[in-house]
Structure 1
Amino acid sequence: MADNALGRFVRARREATTPPTRERRRTPGLRRGELADRAGISVEYLTRLERGTDRSPSGQVLTSLADALDLTADERIHLYRLIKADSTCEPPSPPQLRPTVLKTLEALEPTAACVLSPAGDVLASTAQFHKISGLGAEQNTVRFAFSSEAKAHYPDWDQIANHRAASLRAAADLGDHTAAALAFELSITAGAAFADRYHSSASLPPTTGTERWGPHVLVFDTLYVPGDGEHRLMLYFSQH
């Protein structure tokens, strides 16, 4: 991360945060000790973050700092981007689906159907799925579930948010690095709405059931695609 951008951002937000008392101070905003107390971390660790000697904070630490600094949704996204910018890893290539899987999707039209990666990425879908899913340009069902648009799209948002978080937790626990990276991202950008569900998830997400997307009441089923990718073929049928 060039020029310690994360540390500078945290310090700038700390100094811009109104302190708990109105006493006259030599420096603006919160003292390091006050922010550290709010975030539940040590002053020494906060000092290392601000000075750039520690540039790999956990998602839990960043979420605590974001909450303590009362960051907006846009500021949380910026905080995550600062961490992401420090990564030197090349993004993985998108998996290639077998032609027979793509042909299956074509044959399913006009049913709403998609193939998902363990982390919830939409690898391919039918036109009907794209039409009613609400995802738009977003290509990850978990990230969309914790976006500002999702609550308006899902009448039963709490249920779906629980299921999506549980699905991501299951994939991350099985060693899927993309799922773990997305969990790190959402713990910062979506905050407690995601993190509480993710960390308290004690069951696997359902493979069948009913969901409401906008005006659509859909019965869904899950079929696992043979192969190494652990991909899921999701089928959604209108309930009449």
Structure 2
Amino acid sequence: MATTTLPEFLRVRRERLHPVSTERRRTPGLRREEVAARAGVSVTWYTWLEQGRGGVPSDDVLERLARALELDDTNREMLFLLAHARPPPRRHTPPAEVTPTLQRVLDNLHVPAFVKTPTFQIVAWNRAAVAVIGDYTAIPERDRNMLRRVFHPEAAKFLPHGDDMRRTCLAAFRVDIARAGASEEAAALVDELMEASADFRQLWAEYELYTHGVRYRRLVRPNVGELVFETSVFSVDDSDGLSMFVFSPADDASARGVEQLLRELGE
């Protein structure tokens, strides 16, 4: 099957639009001049785009074309991928709410998992996360943040390898907030931790960047000892920047430790 091209995409989307006029037309959809007028570009240039010789449109022009062609978020993303081989810039909107369906996914996992925003704010979790990591409902909403937790002065009590955790979390945080676009929430969090934590200031100055990837994390719990997890992060489709953090026990001892903590939670 041939790969979709930008000219083909533009033509197909234009032909699927319904003109306001009731006049009889020989071709389906809007005319090129109508799309050009909607987008505020010249008819000649838009015609060249559909012919594959209009050059590379700017982000601003692509956004205007997306509105002119009445594209939804998925088709807007495809427009940018075809034109620039990258997704469009994120719109500055609050992260999507956790849906009942997403919460059911969490609840059906028997390993610790939670959902976070691009600023690492934890907005949903499951029973295993409560047993292993802690009950987020017992702490103020402001403190349900991964960065605040790993850079907290008492984090060493439950993070035996906190230096690695802080380094990799901060590096992934920088990538996540860059993808999400600048926000007052992210800037305020950085300012707060810059003032409160010498470790944060040092690592921030090093400017390391990683994606989350699959990493090993070690947590220490009373009566259980050290638990080793493989952590994976999955983007939540149809949300604005939410992702799911899953802690999979890396060995039998850690799996038994999770089971023990779940039993104790139920007692």
Choose from 233, 239, 243 the match for 1:222: 233
What is aligned with 1:113?
113
User: Contact 1:135–1:144 (CA<8 Å) still a contact in 2?
Assistant: no
What is aligned with 1:184?
191
Matches of residues 75-90 of structure 1 in structure 2 within 5 Å?
none
Given the alignment of the two structures, is residue 142 of structure 1 paired with residue 153 of structure 2, yes or no?
no
2:208 counterpart SS class: coil
Report how far residue 167 of structure 1 moved.
Answer: 2.3
Distance, in Å, in 1 between the alignment partners of 2:190 and 2:243 is 19
State the Cα deviation string for residues 8-59 of structure 1 (Å, max 9, x = none): xxxxxxxxxxxxxxxxxxxxxxxxxxxxxxxxxxxxxxxxxxxxxxxxxxxx
What is aligned with 1:197?
203
Report how far residue 203 of structure 1 moved.
Answer: 2.0
- TM-score, reference length from structure 1: 0.56
What is aligned with 2:25?
none
Report how far residue 135 of structure 1 moved.
Answer: 7.2
Root-mean-square deviation (Å): 2.1
Given the alignment of the two structures, is residue 209 of structure 1 paired with residue 215 of structure 2, yes or no?
yes
Give the aligned residue type for 1:119.
Answer: T
Give the aligned residue type for 1:212.
Answer: R
What is aligned with 2:176?
171
CA 1:103/1:135 → structure 2, altered by over 3 Å: closer, same or farther?
Answer: closer
Matches of residues 1-240 of structure 1 in structure 2 within 5 Å?
95-108=96-109, 110-134=110-134, 137=139, 138-174=143-179, 175-177=181-183, 178-190=185-197, 192-214=198-220, 215-240=226-251
2:108 counterpart SS class: helix
Distance, in Å, in 1 between the alignment partners of 2:167 and 2:189 is 16
Report how far residue 127 of structure 1 moved.
Answer: 1.5
Distance, in Å, in 1 between the alignment partners of 2:234 and 2:214 is 10
Give the aligned residue type for 2:196.
Answer: T
2:119 counterpart SS class: coil
- TM-score, reference length from structure 2: 0.51
Report how far residue 200 of structure 1 moved.
Answer: 1.3
Distance, in Å, in 1 between the alignment partners of 2:154 and 2:127 is 20
State the Cα deviation string for residues 141-169 of structure 1 (Å, max 9, x = none): 11100002211211111100001211222
Distance, in Å, in 2 between the alignment partners of 1:153 and 1:132 is 11
1:97 counterpart SS class: coil
CA 1:213/1:205 → structure 2, altered by over 3 Å: closer, same or farther?
Answer: farther
User: Contact 1:118–1:230 (CA<8 Å) still a contact in 2?
Assistant: yes
Show structure 1 runs of 5+ residues with no match. Answer: 1-91
CA 1:100/1:176 → structure 2, altered by over 3 Å: closer, same or farther?
Answer: farther
Report how far residue 201 of structure 1 moved.
Answer: 2.5
User: Contact 2:216–2:229 (CA<8 Å) still a contact in 1?
Assistant: yes
Question: How many residue pairs end up in the alignment?
Answer: 147
Distance, in Å, in 1 between the alignment partners of 2:177 and 2:202 is 16
Report sequence identity in percent: 21
2:177 counterpart SS class: helix
User: Contact 2:114–2:122 (CA<8 Å) still a contact in 1?
Assistant: yes
